[in-house]
Chain A
Amino acid sequence: MSAVAGSTAAPGAAGQMDFLQVSNLKMYFPVTEGILIQRKVAEVKAVDDISFAMHKGETLGLVGESGCGKTTTGRCILQLEKVTSGQILYDGKDVSKLNKADLSQYRQKVQVIFQDPFSSLNPRMKIGEILAEPMRVHGIIPDARKRDERVMELLNICGLSTRFADRYPHEMSGGQRQRVGIARALSVNPEFIVCDEAVSALDVSIQAQVINLLEDLRDEFGLTYLFISHDLSVVRHICHRVAVMYLGNMVELASCDELFDNPIHPYTRALLDAVPIPDPTVEAARQHKIVTGEIPSPMNPPPGCVFHPRCELAVDSCKQAAPEFREIKPGHWVACTEV
């Protein structure tokens, strides 16, 4: 499933196939001072004008370092944040304008898997209850006995023994809990899942099991994933297309192999360069160009292109105006004037 030429409004899939369309999304968090009378003193520009589109069945990777806005983007899509401006269209409908009934339906179609399998499960609920609750809330299976059968089925799908239904989260390992998180997301038959660092907390051998599970489920149920991760190796493995974010901006978007084989934006290049490859021969042959400096504060981002203070290609004009996010070749978008 390769990237189709982008529409002008949102880089991504072609017009009618747009399943999720994010346009000019901005999410600014206010920084306030004072206890009784709160004054806004600044803004954290967590997400600053990004646009992209996804089609059904696609896995889009959203990568970047801490504070680049990838999680906030996911939370905006999930309607867990009230966006500052911009539009999120899901199946052609603006998700911020849904009425209560439609929103409830939206929450059923769009699910999330969180990073931390330790804090995202209620420690006082048994696994069976955790899995049954969303089905009860959404009225999917009103009959309690049938619900229990479905719980067993979900445990099976996610590679867990059915005896876990009577256990509590603390009795399980990290990998098993993450499988419960996945089973919970699946319980309401979603179409779209935001995987927010879903495998980052797991050990390599367990991580590989969970990655394979996510891939199998995608194929079996035709799921669409927004796969948020800082681990580029995992993203390369699982995603069809990848978007790179830096300080609230999207700097590059391309099909997976294209992005990893022909990275264009200087930040993407630096990021790929920084990831060590588990092979001493390959490592010895690689040129390491290590990007200097630290990520600036999103409260006070640099003017112009946000990457210019760390960029080796930066020229004077980079400090003036933010570069346009342009399609440099079919399906490959980049925000840089110097490439």
Chain B
Amino acid sequence: MTELLKIQGLKTQFFTSAGTVKAVDGVTYDVEEGETVAVVGESGCGKSVTALSIMRLVAEPAGRVVDGNIMFQGTDLLQLPEEEMRKVRGNNIAMVFQEPMTSLNPVLSIGLQLTETVQQHLGVDDATARARAVELLGLVGMSDAERRLDQYPHHLSGGMRQRVMIAMALSCEPKLIIADEPTTALDVTIQAQILELMKNLTRDLGVAMIIITHNLGVVARYADRVNVMYAGKIIESGTAEDIYHNPKHPYTLALLKSVPRLDQPRGAKLDPVDGQPPDLARLDEGCSFRPRCRYADAKCGMSFPPTEHVDGIHYSACFKKDELDSPMKEAS
């Protein structure tokens, strides 16, 4: 497979009255064509800001990408003039946001919102755009597509709105879709429908996907490759098997131990991570997980551990990666 997106040393910072918030602090990962990559982490770990940085949608002047490069098919997106970047957004890289309630324009019809992207990027006439919109709605499993085009977002349920968002994302046949918590606002049966739809469409159309989520179950079900983020950095990456069965970072291990599982009988005590995530405006030299880590010692406070190779595509940024407990017990 060939490389589609390569992010290197990305740093995005926000300049606030409380100091400089290092929301993304040296993130490096890549996405190959047709692959599904998950970025997983808790609130405020920088996973959404990474996505916004790729799309160059970080709100300036409060926030700015201060370092790194984002190579998309050989071009550095960060160096493109705004004019050129507009051609990339929605055309080569599309985005599906979390909130299907707020990310559609409430005063424009579904048809107008769908055809706008198509016309903007492909320069086709009204009739062609409309035909394409009908085709797209069919693709995402919406019945009665012709009628839907004249409806407004408030006519649709949350799941249907998210289908429209996916149709919009697919409209220009992008190479990459970034889905930021695409199903978090949805009910679980609808979540399963939407994720299955996205999985089938990306596979059939050969679209690569970056799925940003806090749900470890969703990651296990859908991702080829997983990046675990904590406090603005990727602290572990690898295949889903690597991450779930052989975690090499205490944070990943702790996350897996603290999530209740549907397939485990009741009664077992959860083993939560103590403490709170750190304030991103007040990080020191050392490992940012150190205050909550059971394995931390003096060395962890001196410098941030380098990302080291474990095996295959499995990497971990921890000095203690070879001293961790055995991973979670196998599901009985």
Residues of A within 8 A of B (CB): 65-66, 173-176, 203-209, 211-212, 215, 230, 232-234, 236-240, 256-257, 260, 270-283, 288, 290-292, 294-295
Query: Does A280 contact B260, Cβ atoms closer than 8 Å?
Result: no
Which residues of the partner chain B approach A292 to less than 8 Å between Cβ atoms?
193
Query: Does A233 contact B43, Cβ atoms closer than 8 Å?
Result: no
User: Does chain A have a CB within 8 A of B282?
Assistant: no
User: Does chain A have a CB within 8 A of B182?
Assistant: no
**Which single member of B217, B241, B266 contacts A278 (CB below 8 Å)?**
B217
Bound complex: CA A107 to CA B240 (Å): 48
The 6 A-B residue pairs whose C-beta atoms are closest, nearest first, are A276-B217, A208-B272, A208-B258, A274-B192, A278-B216, A65-B187
Bound complex: CA A237 to CA B187 (Å): 20
Which residues of the partner chain B approach A209 to less than 8 Å between Cβ atoms?
272-274
The range of chain B's interface size is: 35 or more
Query: Does B216 contact A238, Cβ atoms closer than 8 Å?
Result: no
Bound complex: CA A78 to CA B84 (Å): 58
B200 to chain A, nearest CB (A): 11
**Which single member of A206, A274, A281 contacts B191 (CB below 8 Å)?**
A274
Bound complex: CA A173 to CA B44 (Å): 12
Query: Does B266 contact A257, Cβ atoms closer than 8 Å?
Result: yes
User: Does chain A have a CB within 8 A of B189?
Assistant: yes
* Residue of chain A at shortest CB distance from B276: A173
Query: Does B220 contact A280, Cβ atoms closer than 8 Å?
Result: yes
Which residues of the partner chain A approach B66 to less than 8 Å between Cβ atoms?
none
Which residues of the partner chain A approach B262 to less than 8 Å between Cβ atoms?
232-233, 236, 260, 272, 275, 277
**Which single member of A66, A233, A271 contacts B259 (CB below 8 Å)?**
A233
Bound complex: CA A295 to CA B186 (Å): 12
Query: Does A234 contact B260, Cβ atoms closer than 8 Å?
Result: yes
Query: Does A208 contact B266, Cβ atoms closer than 8 Å?
Result: no
Query: Does A282 contact B331, Cβ atoms closer than 8 Å?
Result: yes
Given contacts A65-B188, A66-B187, contact A279 B193 (CB under 8 A): no
Query: Does A204 contact B217, Cβ atoms closer than 8 Å?
Result: no
Given contacts A204-B42, A205-B254, contact A211 B270 (CB under 8 A): yes
Bound complex: CA A279 to CA B276 (Å): 25
What are 19 pairs between A and B in contact, CB < 8 Å?
A203-B214, A206-B276, A212-B272, A215-B269, A232-B262, A236-B262, A237-B260, A237-B266, A237-B268, A274-B191, A276-B218, A277-B263, A278-B216, A279-B244, A279-B261, A280-B240, A280-B241, A283-B221, A291-B192
Given contacts A271-B188, A276-B221, contact A205 B258 (CB under 8 A): yes
Which residues of the partner chain A approach B219 to less than 8 Å between Cβ atoms?
278
Which residues of the partner chain A approach B220 to less than 8 Å between Cβ atoms?
276-280, 282-283
Bound complex: CA A281 to CA B242 (Å): 11
* Residue of chain B at shortest CB distance from A310: B189
Given contacts A276-B218, A282-B263, contact A205 B273 (CB under 8 A): yes
Known: A282-B263, A283-B221, A295-B157. 10 other contacts (CB 8 A): A66-B187, A203-B42, A204-B259, A207-B272, A212-B269, A236-B262, A236-B265, A274-B191, A275-B188, A281-B245
User: Does chain A have a CB within 8 A of B256?
Assistant: yes
Bound complex: CA A274 to CA B255 (Å): 21
Query: Does A208 contact B270, Cβ atoms closer than 8 Å?
Result: yes
Bound complex: CA A279 to CA B330 (Å): 9
A272 to chain B, nearest CB (A): 7
Q: List residues 236-264 of chain B with CB under 8 A from any CB of chain A.
A: 240-241, 244-245, 254-256, 258-264
Query: Does A236 contact B260, Cβ atoms closer than 8 Å?
Result: yes
B322 to chain A, nearest CB (A): 23
Bound complex: CA A291 to CA B188 (Å): 10
Which residues of the partner chain B approach A203 to less than 8 Å between Cβ atoms?
42-43, 214, 277
User: Does chain A have a CB within 8 A of B190?
Assistant: yes
* Residue of chain A at shortest CB distance from B218: A276
Bound complex: CA A270 to CA B191 (Å): 12
Which residues of the partner chain B approach A204 to less than 8 Å between Cβ atoms?
42, 214, 216, 255, 258-259
Which residues of the partner chain B approach A174 to less than 8 Å between Cβ atoms?
43
Bound complex: CA A46 to CA B47 (Å): 37
